Amino acid sequence: MPRSSATNEFGIGTRGYAPPAVLINASVDALPQPWHHRLVRLDGKVAIITGAGRGIGLAYARRFLREGARVTIADLSKADGEAALEELSSVGEVIFVPTDVSDEDSTENCARQTGERFGTVDIVINNAALFGDLDRTDHSLAYLKKVFDVNLHGAWLMTRAAAPAMVGQGRGRVIMQASDAAYIYASTPSSIRSATTRRSGASSA
């Protein structure tokens, strides 16, 4: 599967590996219609999707809009976010809020702008992540901290920023997007998976 060569100042690939985004749509479309509507109908719900400028995050945004949700594209890249906004504006109600999930003020601003535009927050999808070069042995401590700040702390910060709206209305959903790497132990995906399954009472052998 192809891997993006895009990197940031730490030499971290900002895209990583991802299945074709169309699979997310195709797998849902293949369901029998009664189950399709029972599972994914989202009329009026408000979702913040991090890393939604492209890839899996963009596919989430597209699908949620098609199912009636109102969506905030939360992405660090202004270019990706604006391109996604242009593409999706004809599909449904959507805004783009430039967001650094590793920054507390930025996540708070994203939740605030979402509330001001749509009235509340019902769903958070923590999809934003950084992927490093696993073959390198010269990564700095700054590199490691940045990966944890985005992949692990970022999910916590975005969830915390949206939590008051969910608590206030007595409902809400948080989706943690990790990867198959969590099962063979990659530090940040595994941490997300472990924290999520333990809190929900799930377990794995």
Cα separation, 98 vs 26, in Å, equals: 29
Asked if residue 205 is part of any domain, the answer here is: no
Range of the domain at 144: 22-196
Active-site annotation holds for 183: no
Count of the separate structural domains present in the chain: 1
CA 24 to chain centre: 14
Give the pLDDT band of residue 136 (cuts 50, 70, 90).
low
The string of pLDDT tens digits covering residues 151-185 is 999 999 999 999 999 999 999 999 998 766 554 44
CATH of the domain at 103: 3.40.50.720
Average pLDDT, the chain: 78
What letter represents residue 164's amino acid? P
pTM: 0.72
Identify the burial level of 178 via C-beta atoms within 10 angstroms of its C-beta, where 0-12 means exposed, 13-18 middle and 19 or more buried: buried
The string of pLDDT tens digits covering residues 42-91 is 999 999 999 999 999 999 999 999 999 999 999 999 999 999 999 999 99
Q: Which of 17, 143, 183, 185 is catalytic?
A: 185
Asked if residue 134 is part of any domain, the answer here is: yes
Instruction: Work out the percent of the chain whose per-residue pLDDT is above 90.
Output: 55
